[in-house]
Chain A
C-alpha cells in the first residue's frame, strides 16, 4: 500500500511533466503534420536557460523568462526554417527538425559543457510537504503538479473558450477550410509552434532540476514523448493527457515492482533454471525491462491501432 501510494504520486508528477511536453507536440503534429524532433531540445534548452537565469537573477524570473525565450526560438524556427522546407514535404520537415535537434545538442555541449550542470531546486521550495508512511513528499513535486495542473487548465480554457482556440481546433482537422474562411493559417501555425516550444521550455524549467540537466536529456526524453503522442492519438488532447499519465505510471511502477517472467511461470508450477531455453529473457526483472516498455507500446500501437487511444485519424 505504502509503495503503491508513493509510486502513484510520483507517477502523477512524471506523467504531468510528460503531458507538458507532449501536449505541444500533439498540437504541432496533428496540425502541421510535422514530427518535431527538436521538441525535446526545447525542453533541454528550457532547463539550461533556467539554470543560467537562476544563477544571475533567480528561479522565479527564470520560470517566466526561459519559456518565453524558448517560444521565441520556436517562432523563429517555424518562420525561417520550417516554412522554407514545407514545400519539400513532411519527410523533409521531419529531417529538418532532426538536424536541428543534433545541432542544438552540440551547441548546448559547447556552451554549458559535457557534464551535467548543478541546476538545483530553489531553496524556498526545498522542504518536505508531508509524510506518507514514513516517506517524505518534497514540496517541489507538489509545485510541479500545481504548475502542470495550471497549464493544463490554461490550455483547456484557451482551446475551448477563446476565438483563437476555436480556430486552432478547426485547423487541427481542416486547415484548408480554415484558410478558405479567411484566417491566416500560417500565423496560426507559428502561434501553435511557438506556444508548444514555450510549453516544452516550461517543462524544462520545472523538470530540469527534478531530473538531471545534461546534454543528453533531449535524446533520452524525446522518444518517450513520441510514444505518448502516438499512444494518445493524433488530434486529441484528452488522449494525450491519458497517455501521459499512463506512461508516467508505467515508468514509475516498473521501477518498484521487482518481478520477472520467471516469477509468473512459478505460479504455473514451472521453475526457470540456467538450463531452461531463453532463461536470460525470462529472468530479467521488471525494473530493467521498464525502459523497454514504452517502445514496445509504441511499436504495438503503431502496428495494431495507428489511431492511438483516442485519435481522430491515423498517424
Chain B
C-alpha cells in the first residue's frame, strides 16, 4: 500500500456511512429486483406479467448458478464443462423432497426447500469433486466434461431417480410455509427466489473473504507456491468445488420451485455452457461479472429468441469477442475506466465514444441482417415464417437485402477501424495522464 493510499484510507469515513457507501449496490439490486415486475403490472386485470416474472426468476436463479460456477472458474481457476450436473442434481433432489413433503413422509418449510437442493448439490459436489479435483487446468476441464456426459446419459437411462425423458414433475404448493404464504402465484414464488438469490449471493461474496476463498485464489495463481506455504492445493480445490456444488444445488432448487418440473436438460452440456458463456461475457475476474453476463444471456435468450432463431449465435459471437479482445468481460471493460474516472476526465471520453458508436451500430446492424437473412432462407422457411422488419416483408431470396447487409458490415467495420484509431489515441493519452497523476493503483 502506497503512502497515498494509506492517507486515503485514513480520510475515509467510518461506521454506517462507510458501510452504506461500500455496499449500497446490494440493497439497490434487491430493491430493483422487487420493483421491476411492477412496471409490467397489468392494473386492469390486477395480474403480474407472467413472461416478465419468469424471465426475472430465470435471471435470478441462473445468476446463482453462474456465481457458483465462478467460485470454481474465477476464484480457483478451475474451468468446468460439467457444472450443470450439480445444478441439475440439486434440482432432482429438490423435486423428490417436494414430492416427499407433499406425500407427508417428511416435513420441511417451503422457505427452506432450497436448502434440500443445496445439500444435494453439496453431496454430489463432494462425490464428483473427489474425482475431478485430483487434476487441474485442462485435465480438470476434461474430467468434468466426462462426468457431465456420464450424468446426462444416466439421466435418460435410470427412470427411478431421473424419470427418463419426462423428468420429475412436482408441486410447490405444499402448505408448509412458515409465514402462511401458499406459493400458488408466480409473484409469491418470485419473492422467495429473490430472497434466496440474495442470501446465496451474500454467502458467496463472504466466502471470497474467508481463508479458503483466499487460498483458492492463491492456488489459482501459483499452486506450487501455495504448496510450499503448506497448503494442499488438491484439498483447497476439493473444498471449493464442494461448496460451489452447494450453491449450484440451491440454484437448481430455485429452478424447480419456479418451473415445478426438472428434466435431463438441467444436467445437459448446454446448461453448463450457458454458465460458462454468461460468466465469461460478464467477466470472471470480478464478483458481479457472472450476474451481468447472466442478465445479458437471459435477455438474449428470452427476448431475442422470440424474434430470431439465432440467439445462440449472437451469444457465441459475443463470447468470442470477449475472449479475444476483452478477457476481463464487461465488468473488466468498466473497471478499465476507473483510473480515468479517478482523475475526473471521464467526460473527455464522451466524444470518442459517440464517434465509434455510429460505425459500431452500422456494423452490428449489417451482421444481424446477414445472420437473419441466412436464417430465414433455411430455418425460417422450414417454419413457414416471413422475415419482417416492422411491417415491411423482406424477401431473403432477393439480392438487395444481402448486398445492403454486406455493405453495412464491411463499410461499418472499415469505418470503425478508422475511428478506433482516434479513440485509441485519446484513451492512451488519458491513461498516460492518469498514470502521471498516480491514479493507477
Contact = CB atoms under 8 A, between A and B. Distances in A.
B159 interface: yes
B150 to A, nearest CB: 5
B235 to A, nearest CB: 16
B312 A303 contact: no
B324 A81 contact: yes
Interface string B136-159: 011101110111011001100111
- Residue of A95, A107, A291 contacting most chain B CB atoms (<10 Å): A95
Contacts, number: 128
A103 B315 CA distance: 9
Contacts of A288: 157
A100 interface: yes
Contacts of A306: 135, 139
A226 B160 CA distance: 31
B134 interface: yes
B320 A109 contact: no
Interface in A85-139: 85, 88, 90-92, 94-96, 98-100, 102-103, 106-107, 109-115
Given A113-B382, A306-B135, A281 B158 contact: yes
A57 B131 CA distance: 51
Mostly helix, strand, loop or mixed at chain A's interface?
helix
A299 interface: yes
Given A110-B371, A280-B159, A284-B157, A302 B313 contact: no
B365 interface: no
Mostly helix, strand, loop or mixed at chain B's interface?
helix
A45 B118 CA distance: 42
Given A299-B150, A302-B135, A303-B135, A226 B145 contact: yes
A270 interface: no
Contact of B327 (A92, A110, A112, A115): A92
Nearest to A90: B138
Contact of B378 (A96, A112, A219, A227): A112
A80 B379 CA distance: 30
A35 interface: yes
Given A96-B320, A106-B316, A113-B379, A302 B139 contact: yes
A226 B312 CA distance: 24
Interface string A292-314: 10011011001100100000001
Nearest to B381: A113
Contact of A299 (B147, B280, B309): B147
A165 interface: no
A266 interface: no
Contact of B141 (A94, A110, A115, A292): A94
Given A299-B143, A299-B150, A315-B139, A106 B158 contact: no
A88 to B, nearest CB: 5
Contacts of A291: 153
Contacts of A91: 77, 79, 137-138, 141
Interface string B299-341: 0000000000110110111011001100100000000000000
A230 interface: yes
A96 B79 CA distance: 13
B128 to A, nearest CB: 10
A5 to B, nearest CB: 29
A102 B323 CA distance: 14
Contact of B138 (A35, A98, A284): A35
A94 B138 contact: yes
B273 interface: yes
Interface string B246-289: 00000000000000000000000100010011001000000000
The size bracket of the interface on A is: 35 or more
B317 A103 contact: yes
A85 B325 CA distance: 8
Contacts of B276: 95, 98
A84 interface: yes
Contacts of B141: 35, 91, 94
A94 B382 contact: no
B320 A103 contact: yes
A230 to B, nearest CB: 6
Contacts of A230: 142
A226 B142 CA distance: 8
A32 to B, nearest CB: 12
Given A99-B323, A103-B317, A288-B157, A303 B150 contact: no
A85 B141 CA distance: 18
A128 B371 CA distance: 44
A103 B310 CA distance: 10
B323 A295 contact: no
Interface in A214-266: 219, 223, 226-227, 230
B384 to A, nearest CB: 13
B374 interface: yes
Nearest to B373: A110
A111 B378 contact: yes
Interface string B72-95: 000001010000000000000000
Contact of B316 (A103, A113, A114, A280): A103
B375 interface: yes
Contact of B269 (A219, A292, A296): A219
Interface of B: 77, 79, 131, 134-135, 137-139, 141-143, 145-147, 149-150, 153-154, 157-160, 269, 273, 276-277, 280, 309-310, 312-313, 315-317, 319-320, 323-324, 327, 371, 374-375, 378-379, 382
6 smallest CB-CB distances across A and B, nearest first, come from A298-B146, A106-B313, A102-B316, A99-B320, A103-B316, A295-B146
8 contacts: A35-B142, A91-B138, A94-B79, A102-B273, A102-B316, A110-B371, A110-B375, A292-B157
Given A91-B79, A103-B317, A111-B374, 18 more contacts: A35-B138, A35-B142, A84-B324, A91-B141, A94-B138, A102-B316, A102-B319, A106-B312, A111-B378, A113-B378, A114-B382, A115-B382, A227-B146, A280-B159, A284-B157, A296-B150, A299-B146, A315-B142
